[in-house]
Structure 1
Amino acid sequence: MVQLTIELVRKRAEHNEGELHSLEELSLHQEGIEKIEGLGNWCPKLQILLLQGNVISKLENLRRLKCLVYLNLALNNIETVEGLERLESLKKLDLSINFIGDLLSITKLKCNTELEELYLYGNPCCDFENYRKFIIYNLPDLKHLDYSKVTRSEKILAFQNVEEWQKTILPQQEKYLIGRAEQKIENEDRMEKEFAALDVDNPKSIAEYMQKPSDNSPETRKQLMQVKEILDQERQSHKLSGEEIREKRAVKLYRPDGSPLNVNEPKVAFTISEDEDSYTLEVNTPKFMDLSYIQVDPFKDHVRVTMKGKFFQYVCLEEIDVESTKAVRSQTSGVLTITMPKIESESKKAKTFLYGKGGKHSTLQRGCKKTLSSLDKNQDQNLHSECWGKREQLEIGSSRGKSVSSHLIMEETCIEKPFSVGFVDDPEVPPLE
């Protein structure tokens, strides 16, 4: 079991820079603590103390916490309410899911005049007949009991026929305490045998022990905590000795042939939109994640976003302009918007060259038509087929297939014109450039 030490308390006081004397809130839940000690000396100004999920069996060493307003001791091994009389500022007390069967011990809370909220849900005493009447009668200043408001009508009923319903409380409590004493004896014999047969080095033995049905008792809860502590020590020793070290599975970003994969390791929502000129990727990064934890890496056919070491990768169907890619993140929503312009494909360049940006025929095409009119019919048909065949070939071709360079397009689309009638080749005339 874990001992409550000043080192542990100082570790949990990081929000107060490790200063204990002025500490007002302390959380020590699920630490395996068995006994409360030292808090009154170390933290005299505590107002909120959270001790749920431990194996504390007795309420003690709390009398010096004069400023304590809220005390949470849910999910522990407490059987009797005691040691809280000096907590003069206490307003809220949570003792849910313990083993309180001594209902008469709750009357000790009469000294806590500021107490307004009391939670006893999940304790054996809650099954007693007239349990709620008993609590309201003995603690008339309560405003909330077990997650429900104490109504005026409940208070009136609690103060009527007091002697009659109080007679039912004591027999029920005595019956429970007798059964509890028998349960303790049975648990001690049974648990001693089970613990002796448990082999902590054998996973099968541990699995069988965990699957065995057991009663809900302080002894069982304490033994489970001891087994958990032993297993944690075994795992830690194996880890320190280099045994059973589990490596984190590496995320695959590329196939064996080098082509990228779509990856969403952080499991974030995203949207992708595409137009003729660019891709727009919107990634819903965590809203409060600092920008220093986010990195954007664009590549020619994919983009990668790294968030705290986790990879998000999207593969584009067309090549993108890496140098012109921009990333902007919203400060209010955390949405990361990445704009990736496409690299203009050769087929688009050919279309622009033949048609022009306005969709009309270019000068070269009009020149081809003009040449066709000056030829004879047969030559006209051959040249017409040659000129338009070149244009169709350029339109059908894909940029992801065999790429066509710009100088090849010029060579394919420019057709040499025949000399006109009466043409004289004068060598003194300089050539047109």
Structure 2
Amino acid sequence: KHFAKLYCAFTVKTKPLFSLILSNMPLITRDLLRKRAEHNEGMISTLEEISLHQEELESINEVLGMTCRKLKILYLQNNIISKMENLFHMKDLVYLNLALNNVTKIEGLHNCEFLGKLDLTVNFIDLDELKDSIDHLQSRTNLHDLYMMGNPSEHNWPNFKHYVIAKLPQLQNLDGTEITRSMQIQARQKLPALEIELEKLASAVRTEKRAKAIITEQAKPAPSVTTYANGVTIEDVDEEAEGSNDQSQEMTDNTPETRVRIYQELAQQKKEKEDRANVNAPKKRNYEKEQEESIKAIRDKEAEEAGDIKQKNEGGWEFYWDEETRPGMVVLEVRVQKFLDSSLIDVDVHPTYVSMVIKSKVLRLRLPAEVKVSESKCQRAKVNGALLIIMPKLDSKANAISIRGDQRAAQRAATTSGGAAGGATAAGPARTIASSQQRAGAVNASASSAAQPQRTVLKPKKLSLQEQMMQEALQSAGVDTPSASGTETRSNSLLDASIGAASRVGVNVSNIVPR
């Protein structure tokens, strides 16, 4: 019923100096901050509010303070943070929520000069640390709301509120209760007696904690430990005894140690669940590592091919040259994605070309003029995220766009005039031959047309309105009319004949005017 618990230790004369303890508790990382900064489009440098609750965090590491310096609202409730630290970079912090943690003392708020609301509900600030904690908040002149309900100091001392109100005159609300003027006057009157009472209670609490620590240390069974020469230590633990003890304790004490053990179990279960979910998940790419490897390989290859630089655009990026907006400079604008992290862009400017590695892909371009490398600079546009590379020319007027345009126009003009002069002499005989050939062809065409008999093709003439009316009148009278086709002469004869025929049969033609 025993099992061996194995861990490594570095020992000097059988006394361990450092033990390697494996912990599955999560830490505050840049990936976690980006995940929680979705409301700010994943931008963590400009983040003003973030929620890191229920993340089983044991501490506030330096990543949060160094990365998110513009934070105004920070939620850290329902973790197991035991110390308020690494908050000195957050000068703009207005609201800090550390409810349901393991904080035992208020500290680390020296630079949070704009702090207006502090929530420390259900923590472990006891009477032995109350005086130092409240003294630390006296310099926070903008602090108006304070929540300390559920702390041992608030639960075990009836005069807790009077003491806090007297020591912090800037407070307007304490544990959700508005502080009135009369409450402040009464608290200040009781303050001398409250300080004496607090000193006695704090001393008693310190004595009680020391006694509990001694009893706990003596009650702990001495494990059977075997240390080998290579530094490996084997500890025998009675699993059955531990299991029986755990089962017998149905109720657990509300102590920092108990909460740490509970949250460690929760973190272990959470990690196992994530591991099972990630078994079949696609492998996550490390873009930063890929970028570093690509930069090194590309720069080494460019160093080898220093005399033969070839232009390349592997990513298909849109780019534009500008030499007119800023006279004497070459400005290269590359349209990269707006939300592309700048750490994935590497720019290397040379006197005659510029080489960029953007997300492991190369963009290499020859410059229109030689530039000053030491004075070149890069910028990112805030609107669309475009990359601007500003490079001063070695010669401010060298190879400008207008100069190149004038040169190309002069070259085209010289080519056109030279070609016209040379072509006139060379094309003279050709044009003469072509003219004689055309005349010969015309003579042959005339001869062939004269040999053929002439035929006249009469096209039917379209009748006018008067002729149509006359034809309809004759048809109604039963008079035969000739065909309406023929020449102008035949049309006139038709009209005269029709009028005469119509007169003989008694048709009124007075309203028809002959053409």
Structure 1-normalised TM-score? 0.50
Aligned counterparts, 1:202-221, within 5 A: 212-221=250-259
How many pairs align? 238
Report the alpha carbon displacement of residue 191 of structure 1 after superposing the two structures with TM: 8.4
Q: 1:6 to 1:191 in 2, by over 3 A?
A: farther
Identity, % of aligned pairs?
40
Q: For the structure 1 residues 73 and 187, does the alpha-carbon distance in structure 2 shift closer, same or farther, using more than 3 Å as the test?
A: farther
CA distances 1:242-272 after superposition (whole Å, capped 9, x unpaired): 9xxxxxxxxxxxxxxxxxxxxxxxxxxxxxx
Deviation of 1:173 after TM superposition, in Å, equals 1.6
The one of 180, 185, 192 equivalent to 1:156 is 185
Name 1:35's counterpart in structure 2: 59
Distance 1:10 1:136, change over 3 A: same
Q: Aligned letter for 1:132?
A: K
- Quote how far apart the aligned CAs of 1:147 are: 1.6
1:86 aligns with: 111
**Equivalent in 208, 213, 222 of residue 179 of structure 1:** 208
* One-letter amino acid of the counterpart of residue 137, structure 1: A
Structure of higher CA gyration radius: 2
The code of the aligned residue for 2:103 comes to I
The amino acid that maps onto 2:52 is L
Distance of 1:23 and 1:210 partners within structure 2: 48
1:110 aligns with 2:138: yes
Shift of 1:137: 1.1
**Could you tell me which amino acid in structure 2 is paired with residue 3 of structure 1?**
L
Q: Is the 8 A contact 1:58 1:80 kept in 2?
A: yes
Structure-2 change in CA distance of 1:234 and 1:209 (3 Å): farther
TM-fit CA distance, 1:6: 1.3
What is the identity, as a one-letter code, of the residue corresponding to 2:150?
G
- Which SS does the other structure have where 1:71 is aligned? strand
CA distance in 2, matches of 1:64, 1:31: 22
The CA distance in 2 between the partners of 1:210 and 1:232, in whole Å, is 26
Distance 1:212 1:24 in 2: 43
SS class of match (1:107): helix
Are 2:151 and 1:123 aligned? yes
Query: Which of 12, 31, 41 in structure 2 is aligned with 1:17?
Result: 41
CA shift at 1:189, angstroms? 7.2
What is the letter of the counterpart of residue 255 of structure 2? Answer: S
Q: Which residue of 2 aligns with 1:56?
A: 81
Q: In structure 2, what residue type is equivalent to 1:74?
A: A
Alignment equivalent of 1:145, drawn from 152, 158, 174: 174
- Is 2:263 the counterpart of 1:225? yes
Q: In structure 2, what is the equivalent of residue 264 of structure 1?
A: none
Distance 1:98 1:160 in 2: 29
| Structure 1: 5+ residue stretches without partners | 243-433
Shift of 1:179: 2.2
Contact in 2 for aligned 1:198/1:209 (Cα 8 Å): no
**Residue pairs, 1:240-279, within 5 angstroms:** none
Structure number with higher helix proportion: 2
The corresponding residue for 1:132 is: 161
The CA deviation string for residues 13-44 of structure 1, in whole angstroms up to 9 with x for no partner, is: 01101101110100000101111122221111
Q: What is the RMSD of the two structures over their aligned residues, measured on CA atoms?
A: 3.0
Question: Any gaps of 5 or more consecutive residues in structure 2?
Answer: 1-24, 224-236, 281-515
| 3-state SS in 2 of match to 1:111 | coil
Q: What's 2:494 paired with?
A: none
Aligned AA (1:15): H
What is the alpha-carbon distance in structure 1 between the residues aligned to residue 66 and residue 58 of structure 2?
18
Which whole-Å CA distance do the structure 2 matches of 1:235 and 1:12 have between them?
20
Aligned twin of 1:4: 28
User: What is the deviation of 1:111?
Assistant: 1.2
Deviation at 1:165, TM superposition (A): 2.5
**Residue in structure 2 matched with residue 75 of structure 1 by the alignment:** 100
Paired with 2:192 and 2:261, the residues of 1 have a C-alpha distance of: 42
Q: Which residue does 1:45 correspond to in 2?
A: 70
- Paired amino acid for 1:175: A
Do the aligned partners of residues 49 and 39 (structure 1) sit closer, same or farther apart at CA in structure 2, a change above 3 Å counting?
same
Distance 1:125 1:193, change over 3 A: farther
Residues 223-244 of structure 1 show CA distances to partners (whole Å, capped at 9, x for unaligned) of 11112223334445566679xx
Cα 1:146–1:206 change in 2 (3 A) is farther
Distance 2:215 2:75 in 1: 32
